[in-house]
């Protein structure tokens, strides 16, 4: 992936909104058009650009073509008075615990009481290495989160064959907690979401909680 192409593509608010929608579930063009109030032709143009840089892919199911986010991508941008740095990563297989131990050992060895050019440069190099270690750790965490979501999808498919139940459970896993949110984001009617949540509650898969006078739902 080319960092300049990614930055250019993500600089468009409409494309960021499309990615936000696709992060919830695969969608077809008219579905995106309806949800984001964009003309289908415009949606297709944005999707083609997202596909070109490798952020989005598509598949056909019946007479529809669905678009989805292809992989986990992490974009890191640092802007300081003395430095500009942009980097993109697509995940790694680092062990999180091992990386945390390395970071802990490096922090313990730090001595910030440097004086003179040589000492300051030495500390600067160590801090920059620490930043790279944190960046690798964050990429590993992102990959782990994606792996867990993949496992969650498989488990949801195992416990339910109902499409609405699967959508609602995945929506809850992704942080949606109110009936109105689930209905709007998943393209379901308010009543369908209510009925689905009630059925899932009876099966012991979800629970309702009152927070500040509002009813929210979460996976049990």
CA–CA distance, 181 with 193 (Å, rounded to integer): 10
The domain made up of 3-69 has a fold known as Arc Repressor Mutant, subunit A (1.10.10)
Mean pLDDT of 94-107: 84
List the domain boundaries for the chain.
3-69, 91-145, 161-219
C-alpha 48, offset from chain centre: 20
pLDDT level of residue 95 (50, 70, 90 thresholds): confident
Note whether 147 and 94 are within 8 A (CB): no
For 56-86, how does the pLDDT look when each residue is reduced to its tens digit (9 = 90+)? 999 998 889 999 998 888 888 889 998 898 8
What is the dotted CATH code of the domain comprising 161-219? 1.10.10.10
Q: Is 206 within 8 Å of 172 (Cβ atoms)? A: yes
What are the residue ranges of helices labelled H in 160-213?
Answer: 163-173, 179-186, 190-202
Q: pTM for this structure? A: 0.73
Fold identical between 3-69 and 161-219?
A: yes
């Amino acid at each position: 992936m080319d960092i300049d192409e990614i930055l250019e593509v993500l600089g468009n608010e409409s494309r960021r909104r499309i990615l936000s929608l696709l992060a919830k579930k695969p969608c077809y063009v008219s579905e995106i058009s309806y949800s984001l109030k964009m003309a289908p032709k415009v949606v297709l143009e944005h999707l083609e650009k997202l596909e070109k840089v490798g952020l989005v892919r598509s598949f056909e199911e019946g007479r529809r073509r669905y678009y989805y986010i292809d992989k986990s991508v992490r974009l890191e941008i640092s802007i300081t008075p003395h430095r500009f740095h942009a980097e993109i990563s697509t995940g790694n297989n680092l062990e999180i615990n091992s990386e945390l131990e390395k970071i802990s050992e490096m922090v313990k060895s730090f001595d910030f009481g440097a004086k003179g050019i040589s000492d300051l440069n030495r500390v600067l190099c160590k801090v920059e290495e620490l930043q790279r270690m944190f960046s690798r750790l964050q990429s590993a965490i992102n990959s782990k989160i994606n792996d867990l979501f993949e496992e969650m999808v498989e488990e949801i498919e195992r416990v339910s064959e109902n499409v609405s139940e699967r959508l609602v459970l995945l929506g809850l896993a992704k942080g949606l907690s109110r009936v109105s949110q689930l209905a709007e984001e998943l393209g379901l009617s308010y009543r369908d979401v209510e009925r689905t949540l009630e059925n899932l509650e009876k099966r012991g898969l979800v629970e309702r909680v009152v927070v500040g006078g509002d009813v929210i739902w979460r996976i049990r």
